[in-house]
Structure 1
């Protein structure tokens, strides 16, 4: 691509399509692997929690390694697309294997199978994810084109996640009944359904990535920054504001991810009813929509009247209010899913705005670090964001799994025929324990994050303007 050429609409759409497939796969694993192995196949919740945490922590450390491998790759097809295609194909195969565990496996054999497939899934996902995002400079010329493509890809990724959130539970049930045969248990319906549903997602994932690779032509020579783990932590130690934001991201994400891991159990074993899948799907659809609208509309609207720091506190207050109202509503005898839209609005909208705000805060710490340390650590700081999000995901999955083990919540709690109301087999103390884990622990985490952030973060809008002016003055003197 020469310098004057513009990226075609078809190339942009194809790149966005790659993001749709990529995040469909990510959301399927992130949201349902614990449920599949623990609730459907009967793997110990503690074992699954340990596997999920260890795998995600390993995956977080694996990112910089994969980045260095991609950076050193040289082929006639470029350095990014070969890994993107290889990673996609292997990840799709592993994804299908992960959700198609052999029925004959039991006990320790099933635990080993879960551990091996999940770790391999994380490794192969990184193999594809790193080159996908890193290749943007290889076929754009910077400025508005690059910013626009990044925004498009992030939006398409949100669409992919939303699709899985909305269709998975109902599709799994329908496919399980279609291909599972007559007279099988509800657990078997879900086991078979997940296998066929995952196969469909894996095929779409490969197809979308192939379209992306064929439509996007990367330049032959593009440098790629790939910071090591050591560089990440060095940058954090030397940049107290980056440290403040990173710690806040970890705590906030841990708090929210605990709820996202447990919400399907809430609908199945607490909210209950024979149509719990429909209620869960409706709630998830509403929540996903609110999260996207908050990112695209609510945050820009509030930004016209408030600083980013004030919106951060508003968002945290909204999330806490949402969790309190969720606990209150869940503790009553209500069975109307639409009432849950009230806490859902506050929690999902807050999460959407926080995802935008924390990225803004990280960008501010780059300027601060340049003034303080004399260098810009953009690639290091933003690689750290991926690292800590994965770390938070692992920790929250472990906490959620531990709570399931303590509460003894699984399909064994209410084994019965299909269309059963699982909540009838769950005791009042178990239900209350689930509600408190979903709400009290996140509230405590968010309160701590507010306290931490208020004490540590100093980069107000005025301070950022001062820093920008000082940096400009230093550059002027050097020039």
Structure 2
């Protein structure tokens, strides 16, 4: 039975809310604690990275828990709803640090809330993506839903990138600390509403009755699925590249472009980039898929991203001060990342069938727990890299003279610019080399695997 329009809309709406929450944390948590609350950039970088190391153990375990769950509502929806509610509460607390805290107390508060946010996000994110293979029939239907979900997730991410700073200024009436608190509350409420709609509308249409694996068996299954691991490594490198840029972008506009209304330039740039990313997922990707295979679109996207960063890197070596010039590389970068986001999800979903054929088990939750982990790992690595850059460039808001000092320091600004553009090029080149060498799941291969699985089921 094919997916209904209601199911597609509900699932897409959940993706919007989910990625609004994720992008708020990934792009602004470092800025909130380091620039607004004056927590050490290095301390924040260590906290964010340490939380990701913790997730290396937490995420696969959560995948196992989801796989073992059996309820009248299925194995995915209960955790999806529980994780959403708890994550929404933690999100608000994370951006509502008590004014009485300072020094080590504030660092401890940031550490505890961020780790809890990661745990509860995992609780929700794994079942959300794991549902795709469980209620689609593979092939075009799965790719179509993955494209829709990733497009909607891109809308959620883009909305946060576009409106956050402007909303924070308006809600806080110039007080960024208060503005972030109220903005986080609004996003948390919307998140719960959207995911509730998803849970009420989506039902699992196919399940595979297998014995619940042990922790050892599950890790073994992951290690034996070489295609899942290849996609996972690629996702880490792609997202690290993007998140390094997104983490430093707000500092670039605040201390490089400068001015009292720097947030207007920042909002305009993000509006352009976010719009392009949405268009790339909803229009450019389906258009290219009419003429090219998914793998060819994937490589085209890599070429566009690397070319965009190359232009940005050249601009960093000049004294650029024209916002419109930045639109040129950003067009290629955001277009590429929009399509890469869709394709990595499709490829990862296909590795579920590959793993079932190879290992005789269907491990949706575990494989998609790796996606949750690696996306958060990428944000942690990027935040650590950004915090090191900020520390070396002496960029922070802890004194009134900082902006003037930063503007006067050409080396600080050059270091900021080159970190934004240079490191992502290296990450993307490594990603495409790893993927090209290891990935074998062409469309023909996926179709062949699907038919072999159906043949096994019919034989039983």
Whether 1:109 and 2:140 are equivalent positions in the alignment is no
* Structure 2 counterpart of 1:176, from 155, 172, 175: 172
Whether 1:278 and 2:274 are equivalent positions in the alignment is no
Partners of 1:241 and 1:278 in 2: how far apart?
A: 43
SS of match in other structure, 2:259? coil
- The range that moved more, 18-27 or 467-476, is 467-476
* Structure 2 counterpart of 1:322, from 303, 308, 325: 308
Quick check: 1:66–1:126 contact (8 Å CA) kept in 2? yes
Quick check: 1:52–1:398 contact (8 Å CA) kept in 2? yes
CA drift of 1:21 comes to 2.3
* Structure 1 counterpart of 2:299, from 304, 313, 325: 313
CA distances 1:276-335 after superposition (whole Å, capped 9, x unpaired): 211111111211222222223323333444444443333222212211211222443333
Look up the match of 2:409: 427
CA drift of 1:475 comes to 5.9
Partners of 2:15 and 2:288 in 1: how far apart?
A: 28
Look up the match of 2:281: 295
CA RMSD, 1 decimal: 3.7
Whether 1:447 and 2:458 are equivalent positions in the alignment is no
CA drift of 1:63 comes to 2.6
Quick check: 2:228–2:367 contact (8 Å CA) kept in 1? yes
CA distances 1:375-405 after superposition (whole Å, capped 9, x unpaired): 4655244443333222222222211212212
CA distances 1:64-100 after superposition (whole Å, capped 9, x unpaired): 3334434555666665544434333322221111111
Change (3 A) 1:468 1:210: closer
Partners of 1:16 and 1:244 in 2: how far apart?
A: 27
Partners of 1:344 and 1:425 in 2: how far apart?
A: 23
Give the number of aligned pairs: 457
Whether 1:245 and 2:231 are equivalent positions in the alignment is yes
CA distances 1:437-471 after superposition (whole Å, capped 9, x unpaired): 11111112222233333444455567x38965995
Partners of 1:235 and 1:403 in 2: how far apart?
A: 38
CA drift of 1:137 comes to 7.8
Quick check: 1:96–1:195 contact (8 Å CA) kept in 2? yes
CA distances 1:120-162 after superposition (whole Å, capped 9, x unpaired): 1112222333344455688x58578777665544433332222
Change (3 A) 1:35 1:79: same
* Structure 2 counterpart of 1:334, from 305, 320, 344: 320
Give structure 1 stretches of 5+ with no counterpart.
178-185
Change (3 A) 1:353 1:104: same
CA distances 1:246-300 after superposition (whole Å, capped 9, x unpaired): 3233222222221121111111111223322111111112112222222233233
Quick check: 1:268–1:422 contact (8 Å CA) kept in 2? no
- Structure number, greater radius of gyration: 1
Partners of 1:271 and 1:56 in 2: how far apart?
A: 32
Partners of 1:59 and 1:402 in 2: how far apart?
A: 22
Quick check: 2:167–2:183 contact (8 Å CA) kept in 1? yes
Look up the match of 1:216: 201
Look up the match of 2:13: 17
Partners of 2:150 and 2:128 in 1: how far apart?
A: 12
Give structure 2 stretches of 5+ with no counterpart.
none
Change (3 A) 1:208 1:356: closer
Partners of 1:122 and 1:68 in 2: how far apart?
A: 17
* TM-score normalized by the length of structure 1: 0.82
* Structure 1 counterpart of 2:59, from 58, 63, 81: 63
Partners of 1:103 and 1:229 in 2: how far apart?
A: 42
- The range that moved more, 118-127 or 65-74, is 65-74
CA drift of 1:218 comes to 4.8
Whether 1:254 and 2:273 are equivalent positions in the alignment is no
* TM-score normalized by the length of structure 2: 0.85
Q: How does 1:58-457 map to 2 (within 5 A)?
A: 58-73=54-69, 80-134=76-130, 151-177=147-173, 189-213=175-199, 215-216=200-201, 218=203, 230-231=216-217, 233-362=219-348, 365=351, 373=358, 375=360, 379=364, 380-412=366-398, 414-415=400-401, 425=407, 427-457=409-439
Compare relative contact order (CA 8 Å, sep 6+) and give the higher one, 1 or 2: 2
- The range that moved more, 468-477 or 296-305, is 468-477
- The range that moved more, 308-317 or 26-35, is 308-317
SS of match in other structure, 1:412? coil
